[in-house]
Amino acid sequence: MDSIVKKLTEIESAASAIVRHAESQKEVLEREYQAKRKSFDEAMERKTMAQVEKIRGELERNLGSLSVGQENCGDDSVAALQKEFEESHTQYARDILKRITEVS
pLDDT of residue 69: 65
Longest dimension (CA), the chain: 137
- pTM, two decimals, is 0.47
Q: Go through 60-71 and write b for each residue having 16 or more CB atoms within 10 A of its CB, e for each that does not.
A: eeeeeeeeeeee
Q: How confident is the model at residue 21 (pLDDT cuts 50, 70, 90)?
A: very high
Confidence grade of residue 72 (pLDDT, cut at 50, 70, 90): low
Q: Is the pLDDT of residue 6 over 80?
A: yes
> Which range (9-23, 25-39, 53-67) has the least confidence?
53-67
